[in-house]
Structure formats: structure tokens, C-alpha cells
Amino acid sequence: MNEFKIPKRVSTALVNSLTAGVVPRVGLEHIAVGRKAEIQALLSDLDNTAQGAAAFKLITGRYGSGKSFMLQTIRNFAMDRDFVVADSDLSPERRLVGTKGQGHATYRELMTNLATRTRPDGGALEMILQKWITGISQKLMKENGLHPGDPALPRMVEESILFAAGELEYMVHGFDFSLAVATYYRGYKEADDQKTQAALRWLRGEFSTKTEARQALGVSAIIDDESWYDYIKLWAEFVTRIGYRGLILFIDEGVNLYKITNSIARTANYEKLLMMFNDTMQGKASHLAIFMGGTPQFVEDQRRGLYSYEALRTRLIEGRFSSGGFKNTSGPVLKLEMLSNEEIFLLLQKLRALHSGHHGYQSKITDEELVLFMETAVGRMGADALLTPREVIRDFMDIQDVLLQNPDVKFEELVKDHKVKPASKDPDEDLTGFLTEFEL
């Protein structure tokens, strides 16, 4: 039987996701190949963030090239290294800023997906607060020789929490943030669900009016479209103070900013992105890293991409010496190239082991047949530019399913009858032409 042993829950998620052409949330280490330099660059950003710096990186590549896979891989690395992570896909309803609260919606999505090593699937906000309170209580008991029922303990815990929260008051909106955190503790201590839920709602950005927030918590502000990024910086500082190594944001589908047809709205989002870029690159933020995925057009199109906004173009454009075909992973833009033939071969071997291990059979696909598949998939003119890892993975998983369910079919016959074809045209080019018709 195949020695590729991973838990059934993980292998099921991998097989289902890869067959559907989407990035799995777990088990990526079992199929990851290549991208060594790119991953090392992002891990270096994590190390710098843990030491109090900040980072911003745009990960670019055309559809299916592995941007989301890369973001998810680094997300898992970050959680393993005791960072708090949060992720969100941009969409027409979720942007960086918008007249209908689209920036606020992005913040709420990030808070919903807040995750840690012990809570990797999201929803970790309350767990983070409770872990903090428990940690303070245990520390005070150990330092002062107290027991859990000691009447002096709650007062000492509250003083420690108020002190820690008060240290954030020097930051923009820090007073209201610390007040909400302190209110959560009082509700937690008094078993008052109304207080704790009100504090959680405020921290998640769920209050729509200042009046409602004032009545529930006594705070004078709410998290809205204009202020949500300030609260992200507060969260980064807060989670670091309570024992984590920092906060890492993963924002995918940046192309949705490029798709905004109204030039004023698009520029407003680019201005917000510029502010986030400057904050992280100039040291105005601490213990915060932002990784954003997008297509090359989203960055380089000079009519409506990031390069159309001069302040961003001058910050993101390649230097004269790294633009001559040399790889430089230290800049703010990380470009994902096509996997090499050797990396694709290794990927196919891992997919073969995954599929047979999950379904409990011994795969009859030989290495020579993997080479045959590669020749049909990437060995023809144009495939090196237009074939993506997503297409290779999806088609190879499909072949394995067919062979498993039709044991009389031969691999060579199947491949010859149904050649894996790269896209005849880059889909990003179609998108550019379509959007041009609606340019305002």
C-alpha cells in the first residue's frame, strides 16, 4: 500500500479542493513544490515583523499561477510561528474603501477570519481575549502565591488588564479600543453576556451608529470605512503585547480593485493602498505584515492598474538592475513565474501519492507516464506561457479519477485522446478589453 500517510480529514480536503481547482486550507505542505526563493522572502518578512517591523508585499501572477496557494502556504507558516492571521478576498462588496461601506466590510471579514495556531479555521477573536485573561490570572497566581478563589485575584487581574489596554491609548483610536477590551473583561468576570457580546460586536465592527455604541459600551467612536485600518494597527500592537508575534493580513483578489469602473472610486482605493504601503514600509506600523495577491494587470496596467497612480507606480516599479530578467524577491512586488519542468514532475508525483493514499489503492501510473503527461501538457509551443499549475493539477486529478473508476482504460490511451490544453489566450487580456468598454 502507498506510504503517503496523512489524516483522512486532510487528504479529503486536499483531493476535493484540488479537483475543483481551488486552494485547500490545510495540508499544503504535502503537495508544495518549488517557490523556494519566494517563500524564503516572505518568511524573512515574517521574521522582521516578529521583531517589531512591518511588511507589505504584492504577490502577482496570472489566474491559476499559484498566488492563492502561496498566500495560503504562508498563512499556515505564520500560524505555526505563533502569529495571529486574518484573510479576506476582495470583491465588489469588499474593497479598501467605498461609499457603501466596502472597506468596513473588509474589516468585518478579516475579524471573522481571525485565526491562530490553535484556532486555524477562523473565529479566534474571543478565544484570543480569553487566553489573554487566563494567562494574566495564572501569571499573577504564580507571582503572588494566590489560588483561583482568592478574593484579591480579580482586582489584580483587572488592574493588569486595564494597564495593558491603557498602553494602547497613545495610538489613534486607542482609548476606545482599550475601553472595549476592558469592558469585555468586566463582562467575562461578572458572567455578564450582554457586556461581553457588546464588546465583541464593537471589536468586530458590527455597530452601525455611534449612538448605539455609546449606549452599549460608553465608547464615542465606531469602526467604519475611514478608520478600519487604524484598528488593524491597534490589533497588531495588542496581539503582540499579549504574547503573539504579530498580525499578518492576507488580502487576495486584488484584481477587484482593478475592475472598479468608476475612476474616482478606483483612485480612492489606490490612495488607501498607498497609505497602507507607506505605513508598513516607513515604519509607522509595528508587528504588522500585509500580503496581497493580484494579477500582473492589476499592478502594471498604466491606464487603470496600480501603475496608473503615479505615487504607487514609483514605489512598485522594478529597479533598473533587477528588470533585466534577474530575480529579485526583496522588492515590494513578488512575481510568480511558471513552475519548471522538474518542479511540475515532482508535483505530479505528489499528486499521484495523494490520490492513491486517499483512495487506498496502489497507483499504476509510472514515472514514464508522468513524463508523457508533461509532454502533452507543457511540451508544446505556447504552453510554457499559458499553462498554469491550476490547470495541470485539475487535469491530472481528473485523469486519476477516470483511471480509478475505469480500470480497463490505459493511461496512454486516455492522455492521447484527451490532451491537456493550455489556454489559447491569456484571460487577463480579455478582462482588459472588457473593462475598457466601461471606462468612465
pLDDT at 128: 93
Confidence of residue 386 (pLDDT cuts 50, 70, 90): low
pLDDT at 379: 54
Between 186-200, 208-222, 257-271, 420-434, the lowest mean confidence (pLDDT) is in 420-434
Does the pLDDT value for residue 309 go beyond 90?
Answer: yes
CB of 86 within 8 A of CB of 244?
no
Ordered alpha helix ranges (H), 250-295:
255-258, 263-281
Enumerate residues 6+ apart whose C-beta is below 8 A from 295: 60, 61, 62, 63, 254, 255, 258, 428
How much is the average pLDDT of 53-58? 95
How does pLDDT run across 98-108, given as a tens digit for each residue?
A: 999 999 999 99
Ranked by mean pLDDT, which of 30-34, 75-79, 186-190, 315-319 comes out on top?
75-79
Confidence of residue 4 (pLDDT cuts 50, 70, 90): low
pLDDT at 275: 95
State CA 328 to chain mean position distance: 22
208 vs 206: CA distance, rounded Å: 6
How does pLDDT run across 312-371, given as a tens digit for each residue?
A: 999 988 766 555 556 777 789 988 877 777 888 888 899 999 999 899 889 988 999 888
pLDDT at 283: 87
pLDDT at 269: 97
How much is the average pLDDT of 81-85? 96
Which backbone phi and psi does 358 adopt, to 5 degrees? -70, -40
How much is the average pLDDT of 409-431? 61
Helical pair 193-203 and 125-144, crossing angle rounded to 10 deg: 120
Per-residue burial over 153-183, b if 16 or more Cβ lie within 10 Å, else e, is: beebbbebbbebbeebeebebbbbbbbbbbb
How much is the average pLDDT of 137-159? 84
How much is the average pLDDT of 383-389? 58
Which domains does the chain show, CATH number per domain? 35-116+244-335 (3.40.50), 125-217 (no CATH), 341-417 (no CATH)
Which backbone phi and psi does 332 adopt, to 5 degrees? -75, -15
Does the pLDDT value for residue 425 go beyond 60?
Answer: no
What mean pLDDT value characterizes the chain?
85
Residue 269 burial (C-beta neighbours within 10 Å; 0-12, 13-18, 19+): buried
How does pLDDT run across 212-247, given as a tens digit for each residue?
A: 999 998 888 999 999 999 999 999 999 998 889 999
Number of H helices, E strands in the chain: 20, 5
Give the global pTM. Answer: 0.82
pLDDT at 381: 39
Which backbone phi and psi does 410 adopt, to 5 degrees? -90, 145
146: helix, strand or coil: coil
pLDDT at 423: 47
How does pLDDT run across 58-68, given as a tens digit for each residue?
A: 999 877 677 88
pLDDT at 418: 54
247 vs 54: CA distance, rounded Å: 10
Confidence of residue 9 (pLDDT cuts 50, 70, 90): confident
How much is the average pLDDT of 142-170? 81
